[in-house]
Amino acid sequence: MTTIESKALLTRNVVSDRGTVIGKLVDLSLETRSGKITMLVVKPSNEVDVRLFKTNDFGEIYIPFNAVKAIKDVIIVNETGLPRA
């Protein structure tokens, strides 16, 4: 079992499996009853075209947690699994 302290996780880079830097993790969306994490909330990097992603009012990108392939020094997400706007 690998566990990570969530405060250490915030501000880590989110990168797609094709090598695109998407942005920095700013928050996680979670279901409080089960403790399940549903979404990553990512502040997009300047190079990324946010119009390609599902975003909230603050322009932050939502990535479903089941698109996450690995979490360590960076967070790697499956690019084909991302919802497109």
Partner 1 sequence: MITKLTKVFGKEVYTLSGSRVGRVEDVTIDVDTRKLSEVLISNLDPAFQKRYELEDAKGVILPYSGIRAVHDIVLVNNIKYRLHGTEAAAQAQEGSEEGLL
Q: CA-CA distance, 23 to 42, in Å (whole number)?
A: 6
84 lies in the site for partner 1, by CB under 8 A: no
Longest dimension (CA), the chain: 37
CB of 47 to partner 1, least distance (A): 25
> CA–CA separation, 3 vs 52, rounded Å?
31
Binding mask 37-66 toward partner 1 (x if CB under 8 A, else -) reads xx--x-----------------------xx
- Out of 4, 11, 20, 74, the only residue in the binding site for partner 1 (CB under 8 A) is 4
Should residue 31 be labelled a site residue for partner 1 when binding is judged by CB under 8 A?
Answer: yes
Do the bridges between strand 36-44 and strand 61-64 make them parallel or antiparallel, or are there none, so unpaired?
A: antiparallel
Nearer to partner 1 among residue 12 and residue 48 (C-beta): 12
Compute the distance between CA of residue 46 and CA of residue 37 in angstroms, rounded to an integer. 26
Q: Which residues bind partner 1 (CB under 8 A)?
A: 1-7, 9-10, 26-38, 41, 65-66, 68, 71
